[in-house]
Structure 1
């Protein structure tokens, strides 16, 4: 597939060869005159400037959010590991918004097939629909995927002529046919912005939600959720305006910039995660480049986390400590034992839990969990994560 047909090259100021040898710019292969070899890369940066799905419309001409973030990102010092990152330039929008979604679908799918992680930067949050479509299976059986969204509110509005796609894109993902979703997690919602019926719907679907208050109290709670995701979609509106003044309408509440960077670090570590999108940045609302710096730092931490990925396979082998807990088994649908695994690596505190379907014992999943889940089970209580997974297994 000739991806170069879909992209515009980067402006001269972003491809100049005068970068200091220790900066990110010195190690990124950028689209200037020659399109980068994306098949040989670990990660590929893609700039987006599509705003037809937003209520506010496009920023003024010349305000390209992805380029603004690149300016800050390229100036940063490279991380601790080898960097095989390409910058494919900026995607040309399709003739219609739906064309852009389909274009994104084809590009992300091609990168996934090459084991290159797409990093989507800019445009409306509704563009994650194109990111999502890339995971639609082309063959049976249907592999179920897990995804996570970080946003100040779940975008679950009922679509009608007056609804902007950015306000209903999450609903569109969840009702898409064929349904190839196993689980969805929504992180960072603010209670006063979220209709109660939306949270009730997520609970009935057995999807996990985590409010901004919970994350700010202990952001480590998000680690197992992000460790399970196959792709991640982030709206800059999840970050409080003081730390990222690049969206409208502004909100003084939300995640801090350090919270956002830590969540991207967790996501980068996840060897199952194969794409990430950072959406919603409007440079015309960011006169001092503060939001651009926040997003650039989030990118840096995601890429550095990617360098520290280690395969977490071989459950039940010497790689893991195995803990088997005997439970009372008080009734039908209640397990008599639970099995937990903990990585033996000294630099991590990662736990997993084995969930066997009570309806079909041949169906089993090993899901990321916390040490706290193990402690709950040790006291005879079924962890909520086990209950949710059991319900999803059917």
Structure 2
């Protein structure tokens, strides 16, 4: 597949980045399309805003972030990073979704992780569609101040894209996690619908109490969709309407580290940044740093998947009811926890899911962790 046909090259006006910066090491599409098949990660700029009620910003979002990102120092990894340029929009919005589907699917096939940068949040629908080609169930984690499930067919695409994801046929979504939402912005009926579907949510206040609670939800994801409007305006003046509440820049960077460190995650989208509201480039610098932490997390992956190896400690916890016991696994090196969930309806069906130390403590006290209950319902 010739991906170059779908992209516009970057302008040849970049500053002379020093030898230790990311700009000096990333292969950027200026004159020659980079070899994406040999890359670990690929940046894709998006300028599609037809799904937004506010329309397109006058300045390209991805370009503003790139100026800050490439000036950062490279991390500890080999930095096999390419920048494919900016995706050309389709004739209509649905064409852009399908174009994004093809490109992300091609990258997944060659184990190259796409970093989707810019555009309205509904573009995660195209990101999600790419996973239909994997012929297996996948998990999605969304970080957003709202839950975009408006039922009005006349609403802009950015207001109901999540509804399209959850209702997509054929259904290949195993699990969904919602992070960072603010309850006064989300109808109770929407949260009730997610609960009925046995999906896990973690509101903003819970993350503010302890950001580590978000790590298992991000560790279960195959793809992450991050609406940058989840950040609070005083630290991230890059979206409208402005909100005084939300994630801090440090918390957003921490979530991106968790996502990058997830062995099974294969794509991330950072959507919604509008440089028109960011005259000093503060928000652009925040997104650039989030990308840096995602990439650094990627190069610190431990590939902890063999739960029978000596890398793990196995814990069996007896319970008074059904099931009679729960099995937990703890990675010796990272001290991350997993929990084995065996279907009560079919004992041949089981899944090992990320969990927390608190889940283990709850089971040790004789109670079923809520994460076990939700996963059991999904295996049902």
Smaller-chain TM-score bracket: over 0.9
Which of 44, 47, 60 matches 2:45?
47
State TM-score, norm by structure 1.
0.95
Give me the CA root mean square deviation: 0.8
Q: Which runs of 5+ in 1 are unaligned?
A: none
Deviation by residue 1:6-60 (Cα, 9 ceiling, x = unmatched):
000001223x5x2100111011000010000000000000000000000000112
Instruction: Give the equivalent residue in structure 2 for 1:300.
Output: 292
Instruction: Give the equivalent residue in structure 1 for 2:205.
Output: 213
Instruction: Give the equivalent residue in structure 1 for 2:353.
Output: 367
Instruction: Give the equivalent residue in structure 1 for 2:141.
Output: 148
- Conserved in 2, the CA contact under 8 Å of 1:341 and 1:353? yes
CA distance in 2, matches of 1:307, 1:359: 39
State TM-score, norm by structure 2.
0.99
CA distance in 1, matches of 2:356, 2:308: 18
Alpha-carbon distance, 1:159 to partner: 3.5
Further displaced range: 169-178 or 306-315: 306-315
Deviation by residue 1:98-147 (Cα, 9 ceiling, x = unmatched):
00000000000000001000000000000000000000136xxx411001
CA distance in 2, matches of 1:155, 1:126: 9
Deviation by residue 1:203-261 (Cα, 9 ceiling, x = unmatched):
00000111011001100001111001000000010000111111010101000000000
Instruction: Give the equivalent residue in structure 2 for 1:376.
Output: 362
Which of 166, 178, 181 matches 1:174?
166
CA distance in 2, matches of 1:137, 1:121: 22
The answer as to 2:185 corresponding to 1:202 is: no
Instruction: Give the equivalent residue in structure 2 for 1:5.
Output: 5
- Conserved in 1, the CA contact under 8 Å of 2:105 and 2:133? no
CA distance in 1, matches of 2:276, 2:139: 34
Alpha-carbon distance, 1:313 to partner: 1.8
Q: Which runs of 5+ in 2 are unaligned?
A: none
SS in 1 for 2:316: strand
Instruction: Give the equivalent residue in structure 2 for 1:387.
Output: 373
CA distance in 2, matches of 1:69, 1:116: 21
SS in 2 for 1:147: strand
CA distance in 2, matches of 1:316, 1:324: 14
* 1:93-242 → structure 2 map (5 Å cutoff): 93-137=89-133, 142-161=135-154, 163-242=155-234
Deviation by residue 1:151-187 (Cα, 9 ceiling, x = unmatched):
00100001422x0000000000000000001100000
SS in 1 for 2:352: strand
CA distance in 2, matches of 1:278, 1:128: 9
- Conserved in 2, the CA contact under 8 Å of 1:159 and 1:165? no
Deviation by residue 1:328-381 (Cα, 9 ceiling, x = unmatched):
11xxxx200000000011xx2200000000000000000000000000000000
Instruction: Give the equivalent residue in structure 2 for 1:73.
Output: 69
CA distance in 1, matches of 2:30, 2:124: 26
SS in 2 for 1:391: helix
* 1:17-36 → structure 2 map (5 Å cutoff): 18-36=16-34
- Conserved in 2, the CA contact under 8 Å of 1:24 and 1:76? yes
CA distance in 2, matches of 1:23, 1:132: 32
SS in 1 for 2:13: helix
